[in-house]
Structure 1
Amino acid sequence: MMISQEKYAVVPPWVIAMYKTMFFRNCMVHPNTKKNEQDRFCIDCLCSFCSHCIPAHTRHKHVKIRRYVYSDVINRHDLCKLFDCSGIQTYHTNKTKVLFLKQRNHHQQQQQQQQPINSKDYSCIICDRNLQDNSLYCSIACKVSIFAT
């Protein structure tokens, strides 16, 4: 697969801010409210927020972040509307296709290596993590790392 440098040359600042953000912390605006974990990212404000903060972001573009295998993931369908997701390994959880925001940690890599591997070995071209198919990247962070300065 040939990578078009022109197509990927510009990474929107919000993508970098999103994968660098720590999610699932308690919201400081709603500290005494139930279900106050910051599981959304506002593309306009470049920050995470909880479900109780949605009214403050109603006119903004935002995405929901989920947890899968102790990692932050985003619904592929949601992100594809805003960013070119081609080449990033897709995983399935609860009948939904998701993408990892960050590289998976070494413990997860060791577990993955213990599983039987299909006829071909595929790995991320940035961090060398095993992949399930011929995708180029294991995460959003790996894809944009080539172009982020």
Structure 2
Amino acid sequence: MGRNKMNSSNSSPFETIEQGEVEPSRNMPTWLGPLLKKTFFGACLVHDELEKNELSKYCITCDSDLCKHCISTNKHNDHDQLKIYRNVYKEVVLLEQMEKHTDCKLIQPYKCNKKLVISLNPLPHCGSGSLIAGDPTCLTCKRRLHDPQQFQFCSIACKVEAKWGKIVETKRKRKRKGIPHRTPLK
């Protein structure tokens, strides 16, 4: 399968030993921590007057979240970029795209629009949330895994936490729909 094939010229931030455990060996790429802390799909402040200005790309080179209008300026043409998607109200990236920058072997992929994606941060718990002893779960956040023989983490953030410690701040569970406005008093 092409999933596990890595370009030897890329430096991978994750290495695994034979049993599949995470082997701490290298420093975390400087862009990975900031990527995991960003919130996508908000309105671009630079292009707030234009329609369809949601932040759905990440420039690895600049550490910037971008909208389609930012990309069209050609400033980021020769930069490494990731397209961010939504799956179950969480940010995900195409597995194929992320594998160019980091080793994703132990991270469980999910199908989204017939493509394999991996989650930036943990997805919501499946089902009722109660786990039976012995259920296969993510080593970090204890979310249920579909194939524990092949995968040990449900997201990039969980694998990063297992290797380098907690770097991702917890975000709001639900985003606000907008700024609350009060009715003027008469």
TM-score bracket, normalised by the shorter chain, equals: 0.7 to 0.9
Counterpart check, 1:3 vs 2:17: no
Distance in 1 (alpha carbons) for counterparts of 2:159 and 2:21: 11
Measure how far apart 1:148 and its partner are: 3.0
Q: Is the 8 A contact 2:22 2:163 kept in 1?
A: no
Alignment counterpart, residue 156 of structure 2, candidates 118, 129, 140? 140
Alignment counterpart, residue 59 of structure 2, candidates 42, 45, 49? 42
More helix by share: 1
Partner in structure 1 of residue 98 of structure 2: 79
Instruction: Kindly provide the CA deviation profile for residues 22-64 of structure 1, in whole angstroms up to 9, marking residues without a partner as x.
Output: 1001111100111100000010111101011112211111110
Distance in 2 (alpha carbons) for counterparts of 1:79 and 1:129: 22
SS of the residue aligned with 1:147? Answer: helix
Distance in 2 (alpha carbons) for counterparts of 1:60 and 1:30: 20
Letter in 1 for 2:64: C
Partner in structure 2 of residue 125 of structure 1: 139
Aligned length: 140
Gaps of 5+ in 2: 1-18, 166-186
SS of the residue aligned with 1:146? Answer: helix
Distance in 2 (alpha carbons) for counterparts of 1:4 and 1:34: 44
Q: Is the 8 A contact 1:73 1:99 kept in 2?
A: yes
What does residue range 29-108 of structure 1 map to in structure 2 within 5 Å?
29-54=46-71, 55-104=74-123, 108=124
Q: Is the 8 A contact 2:56 2:67 kept in 1?
A: yes
Partner in structure 1 of residue 42 of structure 2: 25
SS of the residue aligned with 1:16? Answer: helix
Cα distance change, pair 146–32 in 1 and its aligned pair in 2 (3 A): same
When the two chains are superposed, the root-mean-square deviation of aligned CA atoms in Å is 1.9
The structure whose Rg is larger is 2
Letter in 2 for 1:97: L
Which consecutive segments of 4 or more residues in structure 1 shift more than 2 A?
A: 1-4, 146-149
Structure 2 length as normaliser, TM-score? 0.70
Structure 1 length as normaliser, TM-score? 0.86
